[in-house]
Amino acid sequence: MLNISAYKFINLADTPVLSENLHSQAKALALKGTVLLAEEGINLFLAGDAQAVRQFVLQLQADARFADLQPKESWSATQPFKKLLVKVKREIIRMNHPAIQPAQGRAPAVSAATVRRWLEAGQDDAGRPVVTLDTRNAFEVDEGTFAGAMDWRIGKFSDFPDAFRAHKTALQDKTVISFCTGGIRCEKAAILMREEGLEHVYQLDGGILKYFEETDGKHYQGSCFVFDERRAVGPDLAVAPLR
């Protein structure tokens, strides 16, 4: 089974109609998983026969708003989702911070290869010390994270703004790499931190899964929790046992 995940922050004014269309397309291709839509964009996790999954992606990219969507891919021996769900929500990832509008401009992103190089050197290209900041929930972090990553033990992503304000001073003179599973949470988190005055903040483009896909996984310890029946994947993107 081919598994894909993707998101894009973009203003969507037609979420009810789009929801019906995407549900029909995914159902016709026998795909399972979740597609979340909101006025701020799209977030999806789907799995199925490889040809069917890629056909769905092509259909989605035919909409000019999603033409540049590049899903992350991984494989599983069985279908990791029990059903197909397409939902319209207030946010595609809940932060309860309405001033954050990623569609108005992304926070600067750094590639997986750049992050690996910086971590190897212990500093960025300007010589500033580099720290990694895990924006995921505590139970996800417990399955694996970057060596030495900051972990504020948040219980849900909407806790992140308050946690950041409590730790902001310790980040002032450092280059902060915000990371998460696939990129969506660390993008919102990086925008919040920049808006609140932290200058050298970057998001890990594509999150941990893209880091696994494009590097050898060095500097990451353990596995990455995923929200499907695989539960966790290792740096080789194969199913890994839970800790």
Per-residue pLDDT of the chain in tens (243 residues, 90 and over written 9): 999 999 999 999 999 999 999 999 999 999 999 999 999 899 999 999 999 999 999 999 999 999 999 898 888 899 999 999 999 999 998 888 765 676 677 789 999 999 999 999 999 999 999 999 999 999 999 999 999 999 999 999 999 999 999 999 999 989 999 999 999 999 999 999 998 999 999 999 999 999 999 999 999 999 999 988 889 999 999 989 888
Q: Which of 59, 88, 117 is the last residue of a domain?
A: 88
Number of neighbours of residue 43 by Cβ within 10 angstroms: 22
CATH of the domain at 81: 3.30.70.100
Catalytic residue, chosen from 53, 180, 193, 239, is 180
Report phi then psi at 124, rounded to 5.
-85, -175
Same domain, 80 and 117: no
| DSSP assignments along 143-184, one per residue | TEEETT-EE---SSGGGHHHHHHHHGGGGTTSEEEEE-SSSH
From its phi and psi, is residue 54 left (phi > 0), alpha (psi between -120 and 50) or beta?
alpha
Same domain, 144 and 209: yes
CATH of the domain at 125: 3.40.250.10
Q: Which domain holds residue 131?
A: 102-233
Same domain, 69 and 32: yes
Q: Is 180 a catalytic residue?
A: yes
Distance of CA 190 to the CA centre of its chain: 12
Our count of domains for the chain comes to 2
Closest CA relative to residue 146, chosen from 184, 119, 167, 185: 119
Same domain, 131 and 211: yes
